[in-house]
Amino acid sequence: MLLQDNLTQAKNGEKISARGYAVTHKDDTFKPFDFTRHAMGENDILIEILYAGICHSDIHSARSEWKDGIYPMVPGHEIAGRVVAIGNKVSKFKVGDYAGVGCMVNSCGECEACKQSQEQFCENGKTIFTYDCLDCFHDNTPTYGGYSNNIVVSEKFALQVPQDAPLEKVAPLLCAGITTYSPLKFSKIKKGDKVAVAGFGGLGLMAVKYALYLGAEVSIFARNTLKMQEAKNLGVKALYTDTSECRERFDFIISTIPTAYDVNNYVDLLKFGGEMAIVGLPPVELKTHIDVTRLVFSAGKKVYGSLIGGIQETQEMLDISLKEGIYPEVEIIGVNDINKAYENLTNGKAKFRYVIDMKSLEG
């Protein structure tokens, strides 16, 4: 019924009505929320969302842990679904195709960063994030994410997904996958490199899988040993619960830790010239800083931050992951379980990735 309305709206150039789950303030729990999305432009596609992953960034955002959020907020930037309508100038998709959307839905397209498909770093400040962002291309209206039944997106920012792909596993690749794939590639990880992954959750698992795929020897730093069996099954060398236990030296460390921790304890574990990529984004009030004195005394080691990856690289990651069968471990939940999933992800009771089955919105 709703889909039929959306098709009529798309055809008539009207705003697209949508139903999702939102919080209305930082301490709120998720409740149903009806809203509208901008009308379809000639380069836009309308996607019926089938699955949406829950990323820890959704929790940071919903709880205003990085900045004051824009409410009501519908999070979700790991989106997989089916194309149900296309604008006149769309060439990448046809109705019926599978498509994905990650963390961004638009950017200026003209600056050096955008031209190099590093749209997340648009030099004109026009990266439009999938939710919790004002869309300057659409009258500064707020963007709403994937915990909903549809999304309108410029085809340039939608990822192509083959028809035989397991959509529920594709969704988390669009953030957890690209965010870990990109720095491993940037640091040119190769066969035999010693890699450590700090934080063994949604992102951490993907980092482990890509590092193993690249031929690295992988160790994990986790908060506890609860996922020891999973680590062993993957074929990692060791799982440490504290940096002080570790006597190894690494070529590369990727930190996906979402809470306060001492970055320098990890820098100390790098070989001379080794690199550490930080992707985990603890709440700002926890003030996770690098001690420059310690950094200078451990000279020659490189620490850098990394933010998702550009659209071109995301498509590359997706194609490789599907070809090689590199997938997240997912637990499918319904919309009514979102609040519980947030609790579990915060309290160390979650395994890897929760993915919402959007059919549950109808029930």
Binding residues (CB under 5 A) for Zn ion: these are: 55, 57, 175
Give the residue with the Cβ less far from ligand NDP, 93 or 157: 157
Number of residues that bind ligand NDP (CB under 6 A): 30
Contact window for ligand NDP (CB under 6 A) among 82-90, 130-138, 304-312, 327-335: 304-312
Largest Cα–Cα distance in the chain?
65
Q: Does 246 bind ligand NDP (CB under 6 A)?
A: no
Across the strands, what pairs with 31? Answer: 22
- Pairwise CA distance, residues 129 & 106, whole Å: 7
Report the partner that residue 203 touches, choosing among Zn ion, ligand NDP, none (CB closer than 5 to 8 A by kind).
Answer: ligand NDP
Q: Does 277 bind ligand NDP (CB under 6 A)?
A: no
Q: Please state whether beta strands 217-221 and 238-240 pair in parallel, antiparallel, or not at all (unpaired).
A: parallel
Run of H or E residues at 72: none
Q: Does 175 bind ligand NDP (CB under 6 A)?
A: yes
Whether the Cβ atoms of residue 134 and residue 110 lie closer than 8 Å to each other: no
- Pairwise CA distance, residues 141 & 131, whole Å: 11
Distance of CA 101 to the CA centre of its chain: 10
Shortest distance, position 261 Cβ to ligand NDP, whole Å: 4
Q: Does 63 bind ligand NDP (CB under 6 A)?
A: no
Q: Does 57 bind ligand NDP (CB under 6 A)?
A: yes
Query: Quick one: residue 37, left, alpha or beta (phi over 0 = left, psi -120 to 50 = alpha)?
Result: beta
Q: Does 330 bind ligand NDP (CB under 6 A)?
A: no
- Please pick, from the candidates 50, 52, 60, 143, the single residue that binds ligand NDP as defined by CB under 6 A: 60
Whether the Cβ atoms of residue 203 and residue 280 lie closer than 8 Å to each other: yes
**CA 135 to each of CA 61, 127, 324, 347, 352: distance values in angstroms, whole numbers, following the listed order:** 17, 9, 36, 33, 31
Whether the Cβ atoms of residue 102 and residue 147 lie closer than 8 Å to each other: no
- Please pick, from the candidates 201, 274, 310, 328, the single residue that binds ligand NDP as defined by CB under 6 A: 201
Which residue type, as a one-letter code, is found at position 177? G
- Pairwise CA distance, residues 335 & 273, whole Å: 46
- Please pick, from the candidates 345, 355, 356, 361, the single residue that binds ligand NDP as defined by CB under 6 A: 345
Q: Does 348 bind ligand NDP (CB under 6 A)?
A: yes
Q: Does 20 bind ligand NDP (CB under 6 A)?
A: no
- Pairwise CA distance, residues 8 & 296, whole Å: 62
Contact window for ligand NDP (CB under 6 A) among 49-57, 105-113, 153-161, 231-239: 49-57
Could you identify the residue written with the tokens 């499918």? 332
Q: Does 100 bind ligand NDP (CB under 6 A)?
A: no
- Pairwise CA distance, residues 231 & 247, whole Å: 19
Shortest distance, position 15 Cβ to ligand NDP, whole Å: 30
Q: Does 259 bind ligand NDP (CB under 6 A)?
A: yes
Give the residue with the Cβ less far from ligand NDP, 175 or 303: 175
Query: Looking only at residues 27 through 46 of this chain, which bind ligand NDP when binding is defined by CB under 6 A?
Result: none
Q: Does 208 bind ligand NDP (CB under 6 A)?
A: no
Contact footprint for ligand NDP (CB under 6 A): 55-57, 60, 175, 179, 198-204, 221-224, 256-259, 261, 279-281, 306-308, 345, 348
